[in-house]
Amino acid sequence: MRTFQRVAVLGFGTMGGGIAQVVAASGRDVVVLETGQERIDLGVAAVRDFLDGGIRRGKATEADRDAVLARITGTTDVADLAGVDLVVEAVTERREVKAELLGRVATVVGEDAVLTTNTSALSVTDLAAALPRPERMAGLHFFNPAPLMAVVEVVRALQTDADVITDLVAFVEDIGKSPVEVKDRPGFLVNRLLMPYLNDVVQEYDDELASAEDIDVAIQLGLGYKLGPLALLDLIGIDVHRHATESAYAATLDPQFAPPPLLAQMVAAGYLGAKSGRGFRVGTEEQGEAR
């Protein structure tokens, strides 16, 4: 059984940095590929800030932080990925970008290395089809923020070997997460259930059924959720949710996945949620509602 002791993460953004942190905390060496040194520095700083927060809350020590950071190496050269036994791709949700990068990486890593994608919306089967050995490709879908969210979807493409899935499930358990095996379907499991729910909430908000705050309070208190749906959209990124629903709708033509028009308007206006400082809940107290 593969134990994946040296792991490559493609991308040092929010998801890539979180995944790198989780893997490094398990005692494994991680090399993170980025397009420039500035992005590497920003990624390392974000991991450090997250770990410093844990120190302030008494959840970790400075030694813990330093050990994690020491196991993470950044690079801009694909050649530095030679020798890794697991790749986790976490770059932008654009098929052409992911496919091109995975293709380049596949020529550098060993033949037995497993390649995975953290995509939440694209077809793993489609990405695998472009690789020289599609049977070693699978999905490894972490949730944001990766260090805190317990579940990881292990996604089987049509081509994926059974032993690859077995090894990935064991790996996810070993890094302290809970694996869920799913088939390669639009949205996989969690987002396949989540997307229609969030779309309905956005439409009801746009129809002025209730204010953003009242919708969130009602869901939190009425259903016992930790976070209201509109606050969740701000956290996920309104553009990210719109892209995911568009991809699911294009793949299925199922109207439950069709994004409400308000999402496109908010993205056009630059109201992307927490990352832009304006969304359904973020930035609305002083500036009025998002619409």
Catalytic residues: 120, 141, 153, 191
Question: CA–CA separation, 1 vs 23, rounded Å?
Answer: 18
- Sign of the C-alpha dihedral, residues 20, 25, 31, 35? positive
DSSP-assigned beta bridge partners for residue 135: none
Coil/strand/helix, residue 46: helix
φ, ψ dihedrals at 198, nearest 5°? -65, -35
Which regions of 34-93 does DSSP assign to beta strands (E)?
Answer: 72-75, 86-89
Give the closest residue to 90 by CA, choosing from 50, 25, 140. 140
What does the block give as tokens for 19?
């995944």
Coil/strand/helix, residue 63: helix
CA atoms within 13 A on the CB side of 32: 32
How far from 131 is each of 48, 107, 162, CA to CA, in Å? 34, 9, 18
- Please report how the helices 229-236 and 190-206 are oriented relative to each other, as an axis angle in degrees rounded to 10: 110
What does the block give as tokens for 127?
């990405």
Cβ–Cβ under 8 Å, residues 109 and 115: yes
Cβ–Cβ under 8 Å, residues 154 and 182: yes
